[in-house]
Amino acid sequence: MIDPLLTLSEDLHKLNWHPNKLRGQNFLLSAGIRKAIIDLAELDGSEHVFEVGPGTGIMTFSLAMQAKAVTAVEADPVLSELLKKRFGTDPSVTIIQGDGLIHLRNFPGTRKIRRCKFVANIPFSLSSPLLTGLADLHPLFCRCVVMLQKEVASRVTARPGDRDRGYLSVLVQSRYTARMELQVPGKHFIPRPAVDSSVVVLEPRHPDDNLPDDRVIRLAGILFTHRRKTVLNNLRMQFRDINSGLLSSAGIDSRSRAQDLDETQLISLARILKGTDT
């Protein structure tokens, strides 16, 4: 099989295909960056890889060479047909035309395999839904390598006190350790996007690692709804009995804002608020 990276322009020309901006269809042009992403996936031939948004199969091609199996979900019907023709003779590759988020949530019930990894170039419009899906499916995937718009990657990896920290930071980090590994300038894509991208690696936290429960995640949602308000003023809108003393018992300064709180403080606060009248 010819590397799809070498025939990208020809493929798109033959299909008379034009990218859909709403779907964030930008194709990687760099073999070096592709290799770096594959290396970050740390494949050893035993994994089943779930890929969202394979496009013309540039990443799928390399994944199939190193993984035991690949399931790639492409929403675009034209590109999906191209992929089915390209990988139709490879029994290790399954191409599905459809919604990546829907098939991601169905993946655990249809694939009885112990080592699953997730690799995707996620468009901006799908970032939050797919990352939420990955959090919900923890610990199905033993490693996730995701390419995101730089601003989204900054939010996902933001630490307490960082300006970019938000609800998505807390949600993803409640289930995974998240670190930014690679910067990908827009010049490495066709068509060239207006913003740069970053590659983030997510590794699942152990289920016994005192992971925040749903109550903590809901609390984070409340706090980040009005992120410019102090924690105290934010909570007063829903918890009548909240006061600076209760916050202090959770190790929280009443002047703090949501982005200042670490996971331990959120867990302590959720415990204190349990049973408080709303």
Is the pLDDT assigned to residue 57 strictly greater than 90? yes
pLDDT in tens, 3-25: 999 999 899 888 888 877 667 78
Q: Where are the domains of the chain?
A: 8-204, 214-273
| pTM for the model | 0.92
Q: Do domains 8-204 and 214-273 have the same CATH topology?
A: no
User: Which residues fall within 8 angstroms of residue 198, CB to CB, at 6 or more apart?
Assistant: 147, 148, 149, 150, 153, 154, 180, 182, 183, 184
User: Which residues fall within 8 angstroms of residue 114, CB to CB, at 6 or more apart?
Assistant: none
pLDDT in tens, 117-145: 999 999 888 999 999 999 999 989 999 99
The secondary element (H helix, E strand) that includes residue 182 is strand 176-184
- CATH fold, domain 8-204, is Rossmann fold (3.40.50)
Please tell us whether the domain made up of 214-273 is placed in CATH 1.10.8.100.
yes
Measuring CA to CA, which residue among 223, 272, 222 is closest to residue 244?
Answer: 272
